């Protein structure tokens, strides 16, 4: 039975370590693929559109140069138009030098097309793409209405008439000759570039994920090994109360924290830095995105409108940073709690702060045990003279006992502090609505090795050690029934120097 519980504990510890890391990586990957890649694709497409507009303007300038030659008398009109057609027919650009220009008139008739010379001189009013769009008529309409503009349609892939793909072209009218000159980009080109970027990012993120998983596996292995050593140390030290106090504390928390705290802080630091970098990038490109998206109110990215995305992205990145910092803070608290400090009672202990730290260390257990947890800390509490670590250990033990006593999450746990000025004493109470303790057992539960949970793995040392720590501080620990059900644990600690005794 104990072996089964050990296996379940190992699995639970592994899940608690790995799950936050995996969720963070998944969120990071989702942000890249859902937000940034579509944004990069949109900007790449915008850059391509601007490129073909500039190229068309350049071709139009060539026609204007020939027209000036006609006006200057250097060429006749027919010679200028023939030379302009020959000039643009030979122009190529692009990685394979297969991207081109074409010319049609306002009828429309096709005057020049490097790859469709079979259509040159023909009436192309009824020429349509596979979707039925009369693209040349659309070119004429765009030029009549705007003088120039973009038109999307389907056309053959460069010099391959059997391969029909989506295309976006920019056309501009040359009024002196009644011509329309244009060039275009293939959407397939942009998709191919995005596919290459996506593959590279995928491999990069996969590599990062593999390293994180490997590191998490190492952390889990170290944690589970430490946990097994803790259980072995407890089994060997049950007959010696003081040895259990030192070895149990080291094995249960100290060894686990010292083994994995540094490894946890490394990825958490990376997450914080990366999230802050992403936040800076987002804020830097935000104004430019606003300008780009000013007239595109219907654009949705990842199922969100641009306005909604603009509002939520800083919040999402902020949540990543806050969550990572919270994990780092918890690890720091654990390391501080488990630190092997001196046993002398020579510290000024803020009891309210010790309660907060104990609650933070047991937060996960509290959330699972009850839906009603309250903390009420008195104002202007004086400090006591003692050992902060040991006071926190008592509070953690009492909170764990209170949570374990609950049979229903609807039952409550409450922690409160108070100061009795008349007696010059600090009072801490931990009350629960659990199963309670029979009156004839109230005093015996503080005896070493007495437990009502031996079949559940209890050793009967938790309250005994807590009682000894409180007595070492010159105080007292009492347990009383709570009405109508439950138990109230009360710690009373004297205020002032010399209240406690030095502990070896």
Residue 383 CA to its chain's centroid (Å): 40
More confident residue, 97 or 140: 140
What is the 8-class DSSP label of residue 300?
Answer: E
pLDDT over 90, % of the chain = 30
Looking at residue 215, what is its pLDDT?
79
Q: Which of 99, 254, 97 is nearest to 169 (CA)?
A: 99
| pLDDT tens, residue by residue, 97-108 | 889 999 999 999
Domains, the chain, ordered by start = 347-494 (3.30.565.10)
Contact between 473 and 495 under an 8 Å Cβ cutoff? The reply is: no
Q: Which tokens belong to 269?
A: 């630091």
Kindly report the pTM of this predicted structure: 0.40
| pLDDT tens, residue by residue, 228-249 | 787 777 766 664 555 455 445 5
Looking at residue 231, what is its pLDDT?
75
* Residue 132: burial class (beta carbons within 10 Å; 0-12, 13-18, 19+): exposed
| pLDDT tens, residue by residue, 435-471 | 877 666 666 666 655 555 544 444 444 677 788 888 8
pLDDT over 70, % of the chain = 79
Looking at residue 72, what is its pLDDT?
93
> What value does the mean pLDDT of the chain take?
80
How far is CA 116 from each of CA 6, 63, 101, 108, rounded to the nearest angstrom? Answer: 77, 21, 12, 15
Q: Helices (H) and strands (E) in the chain — how many of each?
A: 12, 14
| pLDDT tens, residue by residue, 296-350 | 666 677 677 777 777 777 877 777 877 777 677 666 656 655 555 555 678 888 9
* Residue 165: burial class (beta carbons within 10 Å; 0-12, 13-18, 19+): middle
Residue 147: which region, alpha, beta or left (left: phi > 0; alpha: psi -120 to 50)? left
How far is CA 132 from each of CA 116, 128, 151, 170, 325, rounded to the nearest angstrom? Answer: 19, 5, 14, 20, 58
Q: What is the arithmetic mean of pLDDT over 274-285?
A: 81
């Amino acid at each position: 039975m104990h072996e089964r519980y050990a296996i379940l504990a190992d699995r639970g510890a592994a899940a608690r370590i790995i799950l936050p890391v995996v969720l963070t990586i998944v969120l990071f990957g989702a942000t890249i693929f859902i937000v940034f890649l579509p944004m990069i694709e949109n900007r790449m497409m915008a850059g391509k559109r601007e490129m073909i507009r500039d190229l068309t303007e350049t071709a139009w300038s060539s026609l204007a140069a020939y027209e000036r030659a006609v006006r200057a008398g250097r060429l006749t009109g027919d010679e200028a138009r023939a030379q302009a057609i020959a000039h643009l027919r030979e122009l190529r650009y692009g990685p394979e030098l297969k991207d081109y220009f074409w010319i049609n008139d306002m009828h429309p008739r096709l005057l020049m097309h490097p790859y469709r010379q079979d259509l040159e001189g023909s009436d192309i009013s009824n020429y349509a793409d596979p979707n039925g769009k009369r693209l040349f008529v659309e070119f004429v309409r765009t030029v009549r209405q705007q003088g120039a503009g973009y038109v999307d349609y389907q056309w053959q892939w460069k010099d391959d008439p059997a391969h029909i793909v989506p295309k976006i072209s920019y056309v501009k009218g040359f009024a002196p000759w009644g011509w329309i000159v244009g060039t275009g980009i293939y959407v397939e080109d942009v998709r191919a570039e995005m596919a290459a970027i996506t593959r590279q990012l995928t491999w990069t993120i996969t590599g990062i994920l593999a390293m994180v998983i490997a590191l998490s596996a190492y952390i889990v292995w170290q944690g589970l090994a430490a946990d097994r050593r803790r259980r072995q140390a407890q089994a060997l030290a049950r007959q010696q109360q003081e040895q259990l106090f030192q070895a149990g504390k080291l094995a249960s928390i100290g060894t686990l924290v010292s083994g994995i705290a540094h490894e946890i802080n490394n990825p958490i630091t990376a997450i914080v830095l990366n999230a802050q970098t992403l936040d800076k990038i987002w804020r830097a490109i935000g104004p430019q995105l606003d300008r780009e998206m000013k007239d595109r109110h219907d654009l949705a990215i990842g199922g969100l409108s641009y306005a909604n995305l603009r509002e939520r992205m800083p919040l999402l990145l902020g949540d990543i940073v806050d969550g990572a910092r919270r994990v780092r803070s918890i690890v720091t608290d654990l390391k501080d709690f488990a630190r092997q400090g001196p046993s002398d009672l020579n510290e000024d202990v803020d009891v309210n702060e010790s309660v907060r730290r104990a609650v933070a260390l047991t937060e996960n257990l509290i959330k699972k045990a009850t839906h009603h947890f309250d903390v009420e800390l008195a104002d202007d509490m004086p400090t006591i003279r003692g050992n902060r670590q040991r006071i926190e250990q008592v509070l953690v033990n009492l909170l764990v006992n209170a949570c374990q006593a609950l049979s229903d999450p609807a039952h409550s746990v409450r922690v409160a502090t108070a100061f009795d000025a008349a007696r010059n004493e600090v009072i801490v109470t931990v009350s629960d609505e659990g199963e309670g303790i029979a009156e004839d057992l109230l005093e015996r539960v503080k005896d070493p090795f007495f437990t009502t949970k031996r079949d559940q793995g209890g050793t009967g040392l938790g309250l005994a050690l807590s009682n000894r720590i409180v007595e070492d501080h010159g105080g007292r620990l009492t347990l009383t029934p709570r009405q109508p059900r439950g138990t109230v644990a009360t710690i009373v600690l004297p205020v002032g120097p010399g209240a406690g005794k030095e502990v070896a």
